Amino acid sequence: MFQETYMDGERPAPVLARFSARGPSSSYLGIAKPDIMAPGVLILAAFPPNIFSESIQNIKLSSDYELKSGTSMAAPHAAGIAAMLKGAHPEWSPSAIRSAMMTTANHLDSTQKPIREDDNMIATPLDMGAGHVDPNRALDPGLVYEATPQDYINLICSLNFTEEQFKTFARSSANYDNCSNPSADLNYPSFIALYPFSLEGNFTWLEQKFRRTLTNVGKGGATYKVKIETPKNSTVSVSPRTLVFKEKNDKQSYNLTIRYIGDSDQSRNFGSITWIEQNGNHTVRSPIVTSTIIEVWGSED
Ligand SMILES: *[C@@H]1O[C@H](CO)[C@@H](O)[C@H](O)[C@H]1NC(C)=O
Ligand SMILES: *[C@@H]1O[C@H](CO)[C@@H](O)[C@H](O)[C@H]1NC(C)=O
Ligand SMILES: *[C@@H]1O[C@H](CO)[C@@H](O)[C@H](O)[C@H]1NC(C)=O
Ligand SMILES: *[C@@H]1O[C@H](CO)[C@@H](O)[C@H](O)[C@H]1NC(C)=O
Ligand SMILES: *[C@@H]1O[C@H](CO)[C@@H](O)[C@H](O)[C@H]1NC(C)=O
Ligand SMILES: *[C@@H]1O[C@H](CO)[C@@H](O)[C@H](O)[C@H]1NC(C)=O
């Protein structure tokens, strides 16, 4: 079955596997999930030979290697790429590494069309995140969205937890008294704007504002211009539309406002924002999701 589906050599690649975990996150809707997709079908991997891996007509077989499929096969690819990036850029934080992997991921397949699921539906950012990870491009992302531990504390502060709950996440209560700057607007390489469900199907213009800061990890100064792919039934405005980085490690911020116009189908819609380097090769792409809040439909695999 896998051979027919995946190995005839003519289908576009990659394709999103049916079993791949879908977003949004059931634990927190305010950050779009998943982040990324990585190879997870028929992965050749070392296997404990003391566990029978196959049986043919009651004969149990074992092997040092196995072809395995699953989200648990994609996770080591993502972790390995993160480790490789840390090796190449020891100064990068975990958030910089995540940003590099997300903003350089491919959302198009080998035929330059949107990546599809194995049932032929187009894969959305709530299915595949930013796209299929590209380790070589992630080595040189141009710009990254950094987030410090304090930024995560500020996010947790915005969620009105008790001190007990807060300690579970923050591993310390020290910061609980320092929720002076609560913010749900984490400096994350993707955007999700949620709107209340309207039974009447009528809408006012609802607005959600984001602020993001980019750090230049390119070799020298660079200028980037924005390109916006607007989700259906919304408008997206970005200010400023040009970011000038004078030197390496320079930081520049922008505001992004999503206005929801309304959608009689109350569907989820998708877009993107890409910062494109002028006179250079870097493109820094983030997916945008707009959705009414209906229920948590994601699975956690
Ligand atoms: C947290 O509490 C504040 C004040 O009561 C409220 O305005 C805000 O909506 C709450 N946030 C969440 C995520 O429940
Ligand atoms: C509280 O957090 C701010 C950053 O939001 C930090 O500058 C300050 O040092 C912290 N204060 C304490 C007492 O931890
Ligand atoms: C939406 O419809 C309801 C009921 O028809 C009406 O009361 C309300 O004013 C409408 N809201 C807007 C923003 O048009
Ligand atoms: C971005 O928004 C902030 C308020 O959130 C505002 O003070 C600032 O002027 C805005 N910057 C731009 C370039 O629009
Ligand atoms: C939402 O988008 C669809 C398709 O673009 C359009 O037909 C419809 O009028 C839009 N709805 C609103 C309220 O603008
Ligand atoms: C863009 O990429 C090409 C091929 O990788 C390289 O030869 C060229 O120098 C790059 N240009 C810039 C401005 O970095």
pLDDT, tens digit, 9 for 90 and up, residues 49-60: 898 888 888 898
How many domains does the chain contain in total? 2
Which residue is it, tokens 């809707």?
Answer: 29
Of how many residues is the chain composed? 301
C-alpha 27 to ligand 1 mean position (Å)? 17
203 and 157 in a single domain? The answer is no
74 and 181 in a single domain? The answer is no
Q: What is the mean pLDDT of the chain?
A: 89
Asked if residue 96 belongs to a domain, the reply is yes
Structural domain ending residue among the three candidates 169, 185, 201: 185
Residue 218 neighbours by CB under 8 Å, 6+ apart = 140, 142, 143, 245, 248, 277, 280, 282
Residue 28 neighbours by CB under 8 Å, 6+ apart = 159
3-state secondary structure of 102: helix
The reported pLDDT for the residue numbered 283 is 98
Residue 79 neighbours by CB under 8 Å, 6+ apart = none
156 and 276 in a single domain? The answer is no
Minimum-distance ligand 5 atom for the alpha carbon of 265: 1
Asked if residue 263 belongs to a domain, the reply is yes
193 versus 202: which is more confidently predicted? 193
Structural domain ending residue among the three candidates 185, 206, 234: 185
101 and 243 in a single domain? The answer is yes
pLDDT band at 151 (very low <50, low <70, confident <90, very high): very high
pLDDT band at 93 (very low <50, low <70, confident <90, very high): very high
pLDDT of 298 strictly over 50: no
26 and 132 in a single domain? The answer is yes
Considering Cα of 56, then 60, then 66, then 68, what sign does the dihedral take? positive
Asked if residue 3 belongs to a domain, the reply is no
Which residue is it, tokens 């995946």?
Answer: 6
265 and 142 in a single domain? The answer is yes
8 versus 100: which is more confidently predicted? 100
202 versus 154: which is more confidently predicted? 154
Asked if residue 55 belongs to a domain, the reply is no
Q: Kindly state the percentage of the chain with pLDDT values over 70.
A: 88
21 and 159 in a single domain? The answer is no
Secondary structure percentages of the chain, helix, strand, coil, to 5: 20, 30, 50
160 lines ligand 1 (CB under 6 A): yes
168 and 200 in a single domain? The answer is no
244 and 172 in a single domain? The answer is no
C-alpha 99 to ligand 2 mean position (Å)? 25
Amino acid at 160: N
Structural domain ending residue among the three candidates 138, 166, 185: 185
Going by alpha carbons, the residue nearest to atom 2 of ligand 4 is: 255
The reported pLDDT for the residue numbered 147 is 96
Instruction: Pick the closest to residue 289 from 227, 208, 204, 205 (CA basis).
Output: 208
99 and 168 in a single domain? The answer is no
Min mean pLDDT across 30-39, 74-83, 107-116, 167-176 is at 167-176
The reported pLDDT for the residue numbered 203 is 60
Q: Which of 160, 162, 166 to mutate to test the pocket of ligand 1 (most atoms within 8 A of CB)?
A: 160
Going by alpha carbons, the residue nearest to atom 5 of ligand 3 is: 200
Are residues 249 and 222 in contact, defined by beta-carbon separation less than 8 angstroms?
no
Minimum-distance ligand 6 atom for the alpha carbon of 280: 13
Min mean pLDDT across 49-58, 107-116, 248-257, 290-299 is at 290-299
142 and 157 in a single domain? The answer is no
The reported pLDDT for the residue numbered 176 is 66
d(CA 25, CA 271): 19
pLDDT band at 4 (very low <50, low <70, confident <90, very high): very low
Domain containing 160 equals 148-185
Residues lining ligand 6, Cβ inside 6 A: 280-281
Which listed ligand is nearest to 206 at the C-alpha?
A: 3
Tell me which H or E stretch contains 274. strand 269-277
d(CA 59, CA 65): 18
Asked if residue 53 belongs to a domain, the reply is no
d(CA 192, CA 137): 24
Going by alpha carbons, the residue nearest to atom 7 of ligand 6 is: 281
Asked if residue 277 belongs to a domain, the reply is yes
161 and 245 in a single domain? The answer is no
Query: CA torsion angle for 92, 98, 100, 104 (degrees, to 10)?
Result: 170
